[in-house]
């Protein structure tokens, strides 16, 4: 009995220690180094005509700057049309700022500051839009390139991604210039021509600015929004992208003798390829609570409180529960690991011919703590000695660096965003897609990815999808946000 009693007392003591540790860590838990921007004194939004601004977004949506997979299919005249329209529509902007049109049609605008010792700011929005999938035009409530103003919104391809931002920036700058604003910091507006097809335009713009010695305080581009039904808190959160995942496409090639399909060998090039693809995809990268995704969860959990806060504060004990929850859906899991997605297959040119070469393309979005070298090593280990070749379709884009959540640039962005959504939680965010802003890292202290549109999770599905539209409410928020941000941080 004595021994059992000792064991029982010891067990209770351990439980008490664990419970006490959990309680203390939960009570004292707070996200670290996320400034709230409360010390920033915001400039007022200059007057502008919202109705006219809405008509301008409608007009821009009607200009078909469509980036196709093959750039040879693009109608370059549409980019020239957009440039001419911008110059005619925003005269004060074009008087205050110098405009450079790169040979590829990327735009660089510059408004010099009065104090050359102050680092400039860079704001970005791209000109191009994705195509509308052929045969789905009839699924749209309004024609995708009509720029229809209806139901308190502007409808059309690109109204959200990314002409809403582009026109919002021009409206804000036009209002500031018209009312005599004179920046102390220089302002650069960079608008890439091909963000939807790789972003070579933004890369060229960054190279030019680097050669000119530009070093910006911050860069702001698209990437995230004010999410109204944010998981964890089931409420609004200002999610500001502080990093974006890398991008790489792996080509898996299986070579074989070929021949007639009536006399197939035991294993064809196609079956070899299929086995290799399955081997790669069945060894996914693990879910990891780290990086910007973890910082986001911490900020949301601290606000939520209760058992959610307890779980995040005590990952040493409850981390497995968090990881199980985060991996429950692809949308949540994407922020916590490198993703693997087979997207394209190619084999024989004819149904009764065995291919001499069968290929698959696997697209990776690389988490900030991984690299393309990690991806290749993992793929090679997965296929082992299978008779396949692994290569990159083109040089990978490595993950971006993680920008500060306590710098002056962050404070400016947060303060301008909170003015529009004062009750929302502020949290850093990992952008799982790619933006033009990654090219600005060499010339910018910090890079942020955020648009102040108010979206639900369901509404985000329209980006690149059917019935894309910008509500007038969100468009007004965007103009106000850009005007506040520019006037405050450059004024």
* Residue 360 forms part of a structural domain: yes
* Residue 6 forms part of a structural domain: no
Give the model confidence (pLDDT) of 377-430 as tens digits: 999 999 999 999 999 999 999 999 999 999 999 999 999 999 999 999 999 999
Give the end of a domain, one of 392, 420, 445. 392
Give the model confidence (pLDDT) of 44-63 as tens digits: 999 999 999 999 999 999 99
Backbone phi, then psi, for 414, in 5-degree steps? -65, -45
Residue 54's pLDDT is 98
Contact call for residues 129 and 158 (beta carbons, < 8 A): yes
Instruction: Inform me whether the pLDDT recorded for 10 exceeds 60.
Output: no
Q: Which two tokens stand for residue 51?
A: 């109705």
- Domains: count for the chain: 2
- Using only the alpha carbons of the chain, give its radius of gyration: 26
Give the model confidence (pLDDT) of 71-117 as tens digits: 999 999 999 999 999 999 999 999 999 999 999 999 999 999 999 99
Instruction: Inform me whether the pLDDT recorded for 19 exceeds 80.
Output: no
Instruction: Inform me whether the pLDDT recorded for 147 exceeds 80.
Output: yes
Residues 202 and 284 in one domain: no
Give start and end residues of each alpha helix (H) in 62-127: 76-89, 91-96
- Closest C-alpha among 142, 168, 166 to residue 155: 142
Distance CA 156, CA 475 (A): 14
DSSP secondary structure letter of residue 50: H
Instruction: Inform me whether the pLDDT recorded for 291 exceeds 80.
Output: yes
Report the Cα 59 to chain-centroid distance in Å.
Answer: 26
Distance CA 138, CA 466 (A): 10
Domain at 250, CATH number: 3.30.70.360
Residue 490's pLDDT is 98
Q: Around 248, how many Cα atoms within 13 Å sit in the side-chain half-sphere?
A: 27
> Residue 350 is part of which domain span?
246-392
Neighbouring CB atoms inside 10 A of 199's CB total 25
User: What pairs with residue 444 in β-bridges?
Assistant: 216
* Residue 12 forms part of a structural domain: no
* Residue 374 forms part of a structural domain: yes
Instruction: Inform me whether the pLDDT recorded for 169 exceeds 60.
Output: yes
Angle at which helix 472-490 crosses helix 163-178, to 10 degrees, equals 50
Residues 275 and 167 in one domain: no
Mean pLDDT of 180-206: 97
Residues 327 and 418 in one domain: no
Residues 258 and 221 in one domain: no
User: What pairs with residue 246 in β-bridges?
Assistant: 366
User: What pairs with residue 238 in β-bridges?
Assistant: 226, 426
Top-confidence residue, 130 or 31: 130
Residue 2's pLDDT is 64
pLDDT band at 32 (very low <50, low <70, confident <90, very high): confident
pLDDT band at 17 (very low <50, low <70, confident <90, very high): low
Q: Beta strand pairing status for 469-471 and 153-155?
A: antiparallel
Instruction: Inform me whether the pLDDT recorded for 21 exceeds 90.
Output: no
Instruction: Inform me whether the pLDDT recorded for 324 exceeds 80.
Output: no
Residues 468 and 355 in one domain: no
Distance CA 470, CA 454 (A): 10
Residue 305's pLDDT is 81
**CB proximity list for 460: less than 8 A, separation 6 or greater:** 225, 227
Residues 227 and 250 in one domain: no
Residue 327's pLDDT is 75
* Residue 218 forms part of a structural domain: yes
Contact call for residues 380 and 294 (beta carbons, < 8 A): no
* Residue 238 forms part of a structural domain: no
Q: Which two tokens stand for residue 314?
A: 């005590």
Residue 8's pLDDT is 60
Provide the 3-class DSSP secondary structure of residue 368: coil
C-alpha angle 299-300-302 in degrees, rounded to nearest 5: 65
Place of tokens 């648009």: 451
* Residue 19 forms part of a structural domain: no
Percent of the chain with pLDDT over 90: 84
Residues 251 and 383 in one domain: yes
Residues 326 and 186 in one domain: no
Residue 11's pLDDT is 61
Mean pLDDT of 207-235: 96
Residues 133 and 225 in one domain: yes
* Residue 447 forms part of a structural domain: yes
Residue 329's pLDDT is 79
Residues 229 and 91 in one domain: yes
Residues 211 and 352 in one domain: no
Give the end of a domain, one of 366, 392, 418. 392
Domain at 228, CATH number: 3.40.630.10
Residues 381 and 331 in one domain: yes
Give the end of a domain, one of 368, 392, 416. 392
Give the model confidence (pLDDT) of 459-475 as tens digits: 998 999 999 999 999 99
Residue 282's pLDDT is 97
Contact call for residues 235 and 229 (beta carbons, < 8 A): yes
Contact call for residues 308 and 252 (beta carbons, < 8 A): no
Q: pLDDT averaged over the chain?
A: 93
- Global pTM value: 0.93
């Amino acid at each position: 009995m004595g021994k059992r009693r000792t064991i029982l007392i010891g067990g209770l003591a351990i439980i008490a220690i664990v419970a006490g540790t959990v309680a203390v860590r939960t009570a004292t838990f707070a996200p670290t180094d996320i400034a709230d921007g409360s010390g920033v004194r915001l400039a007022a939004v200059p007057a502008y005509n919202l109705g006219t601004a809405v008509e301008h977004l409608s007009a821009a949506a009607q200009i078909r700057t469509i980036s196709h997979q093959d750039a040879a299919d693009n109608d370059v005249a549409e980019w020239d049309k957009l440039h001419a329209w911008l110059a005619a529509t925003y005269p004060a902007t074009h008087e205050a700022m110098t405009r450079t049109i790169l040979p590829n049609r990327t735009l660089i605008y510059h408004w010099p500051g009065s104090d050359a010792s102050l680092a400039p700011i860079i704001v970005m929005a791209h000109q191009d839009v994705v195509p509308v999938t052929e045969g789905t035009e009839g699924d749209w409530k309004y024609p995708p390139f009509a720029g229809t103003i209806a139901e308190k919104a502007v409808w059309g391809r690109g109204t959200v991604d990314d002409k809403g931002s582009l026109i919002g920036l021009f409206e804000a700058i036009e209002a500031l210039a018209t009312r005599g604003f004179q920046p102390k910091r220089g302002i650069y507006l960079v608008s890439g021509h091909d963000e939807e097809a790789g972003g070579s335009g933004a890369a060229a713009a960054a190279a030019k600015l680097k050669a000119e010695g530009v070093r910006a305080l911050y860069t702001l581009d698209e990437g995230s929004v004010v999410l109204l039904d944010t998981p964890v808190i089931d409420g609004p959160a200002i999610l500001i992208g502080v990093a974006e995942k890398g991008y790489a496409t792996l080509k898996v090639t299986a070579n074989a003798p070929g021949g007639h399909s009536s006399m197939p060998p035991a294993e064809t090039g196609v079956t070899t390829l299929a086995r290799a693809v399955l081997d790669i995809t069945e060894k996914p990268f693990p879910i990891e609570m780290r990086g910007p995704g973890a910082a986001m969860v911490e900020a949301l959990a601290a606000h939520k409180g209760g058992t959610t806060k307890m779980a995040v504060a005590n990952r040493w004990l409850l981390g497995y529960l968090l990881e199980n929850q985060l991996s429950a859906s692809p949308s949540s899991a994407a922020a916590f690991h490198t993703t693997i997605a087979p997207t394209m297959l190619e084999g024989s040119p004819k149904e009764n011919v065995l291919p001499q070469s069968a290929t698959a393309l696997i697209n990776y979005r690389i988490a900030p703590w991984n690299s393309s070298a990690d991806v290749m090593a993992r793929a090679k280990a997965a296929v082992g000695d299978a008779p396949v070749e692994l290569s990159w379709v083109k040089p990978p884009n490595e993950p971006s660096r993680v920008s500060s959540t306590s710098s002056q640039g962050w404070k400016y962005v947060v303060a301008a965003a909170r003015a529009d959504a004062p009750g929302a939680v502020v949290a850093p965010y990992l952008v799982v897609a790619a933006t033009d802003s990654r090219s600005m890292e060499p010339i910018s202290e910090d890079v942020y990815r955020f648009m102040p549109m108010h979206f639900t999770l369901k509404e985000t599905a329209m980006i690149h999808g059917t019935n894309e539209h910008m509500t007038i409410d969100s468009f007004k928020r965007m103009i106000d946000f850009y005007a506040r941000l520019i006037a405050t941080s450059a004024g």
